[in-house]
Amino acid sequence: QVQLVESGGGLVQAGGSLRLSCAASGSFFRINAMGWYRQAPGKQRELVATITSDGSTNYADAVKGRFTISRDSAKNTVYLQMNSLKPGDTAVYYCNCNARGYTTTNYNYWGQGTQVTVSS
């Protein structure tokens, strides 16, 4: 059982920056990967960035070069540094955690979401 607590969303002007944080807590054997997804009004949730347990990262084409995902394994925390924000980045951002339980089964957990609004 994993709980994810997100923070860092807010309102920013185009070209500005925000840093999202997501802290995982609870009982699990290992975190396989963590990532960020976003969902804009009227659209489906989409992948933004992921980072695996070995540090490998993956980014959506729309955010490459602008967003950076990182982690602090000791704190079970993942970050998303968002630079050069655009109005198109406006969405609710959700933290995702894929963790292995003590039964070896993998589970996906979702944070509560944090609103990011980029004004033009």
Each residue's pLDDT tens digit, 84-93: 999 999 999 9
Residue 61 token pair: 């084409």
Residue-averaged pLDDT of the chain: 96
In 3D space, the residue among 97, 102, 90 whose CA is nearest the CA of residue 9 turns out to be 90
pLDDT for 65 equals: 98
